[in-house]
Amino acid sequence: MEIPYAVYPRPDTGIYNAKVGIWLFLASEVMLFGALFSAYVLLRVGAPPGEWPHGWLNVTLGTINTLVLATSAITTLMAWVSCKTRQFGKFKFFHACTLLLALTFLCIKAYEYHDKWIHYEIRLADGRIADGHLRASDADSVTIEGRYVTDEKDLYDLRAQKNIQTGEIKIPRAQIKQMENYGPWHNTYLALYFTLTGLHALHILGGSIVIGYLWGPGRKLWKTDPEHFTNRIEVSGLFWHFVDLVWIFLFPVLYLT
């Protein structure tokens, strides 16, 4: 038994099955990320005035990652075009590029995560706050590369502060009242940052696995049924474009505002 319209479009709908499937799936993904963005809006609007962080993320890295994903969108499209024009060599080249770009994105993202992971806010017994990246720690003291602030409000809006002076600070353990890194538990902004970008990174990872499969073991199908294979490239490409699009929303929402 064979399912009708698995490869060629149904005449009256003009579309093959998997394409209907992926568009429906993407509709549900829109609702998934839509709910998360709604949560972002609601929590940000509900935050007390002046307490929403600004400028906490590295805009340069974010921009690079945006360009990386934008380029990968182009290579994905070219991979599909190469299949359509039956140039399998070009397909292999373009999708290798896509995979490398995806890997680049994930590496940069991992670096950014790590940067937050080692970033500590240390509340001292004298009421000051030491804030910076952990350099060393032992039983007696903690060393960070950062600065002291007296008012925690100074930590929220980093865009307004030009030329922040940082230096190496050694803090005896006895002075530390509370020490917490910039993980998702730190505040609502970081919770949103890690959840949204984490879920997005999982989508990148999932998409890479599928594209990697089609580029590697899945390419056998090309020999027997190139049209079917081309459909798979198209469908996975649609997913990839959606994941890119999500990033186009994430970047301004988290990095630029």
- In the DSSP assignment, the letter for residue 140 is S
C-beta of residue 37 within 8 angstroms of C-beta of residue 69: no
Q: State the greatest distance between any 2 C-alpha atoms of the chain, in Å, as a whole number.
A: 77
- Which residues between 221 and 240 bind other proteins (CB under 8 A)? 227
Window of 13-21, 60-68, 87-95, 124-132 that interacts with other proteins by CB under 8 A: 13-21
Q: Does 74 sit near other proteins (CB under 8 A)?
A: no
Q: Is 237 exposed, middle or buried (0-12, 13-18, 19+ CB in 10 A)?
A: buried
Q: Of the two residues 21 and 252, which places its CB atom closer to other proteins in the complex?
A: 21
Q: Helix (H, G, I), strand (E, B), or coil: what is residue 136? A: strand
Residues in the chain: 257
Query: Considering the rule CB under 8 A, would residue 209 count as an interface residue with other proteins?
Result: no
Stretch that binds other proteins, among 2-10, 169-177, 208-216, 237-245 (CB under 8 A): 2-10
Residue 222: CB minimum distance to other proteins, A: 16
Q: Can residue 191 be called a binding residue for other proteins (CB under 8 A)?
A: yes
Residue 10 or 170: the one with the smaller Cβ distance to other proteins is 10
How far separated are the first and last CA of the chain, in Å rounded?
Answer: 55
CA angle 53, 171, 169 (to 5 degrees): 65
**CA atoms of 210 and 233, how far apart (whole Å):** 10
Among 183, 210, 219, 238, binds other proteins (CB under 8 A): 183
Q: Which bin fits 100, alpha (ψ -120 to 50), beta or left (φ > 0)?
A: alpha
Number of Cβ atoms within 10 Å of the Cβ of 131: 22
Closest CB 71 distance from other proteins, rounded Å:
28
- Per rule CB under 8 A, is residue 25 in the interface with other proteins? yes
Which residue among 109, 186, 200, 232 contacts other proteins (CB under 8 A)?
A: 186
Q: Does 157 engage in binding with other proteins (CB under 8 A)?
A: no
Q: Going by C-beta distance under 8 Å and a sequence separation of 6 or more, which residues neighbour residue 26?
A: 238, 239, 242
Q: Does 181 bind other proteins (CB under 8 A)?
A: no
The contact set with other proteins (CB under 8 A) reads: 1-6, 8, 10-11, 13, 15-18, 20-21, 24-25, 27-29, 31-36, 38-39, 42-43, 46-47, 51, 183-188, 191, 194-195, 199, 227
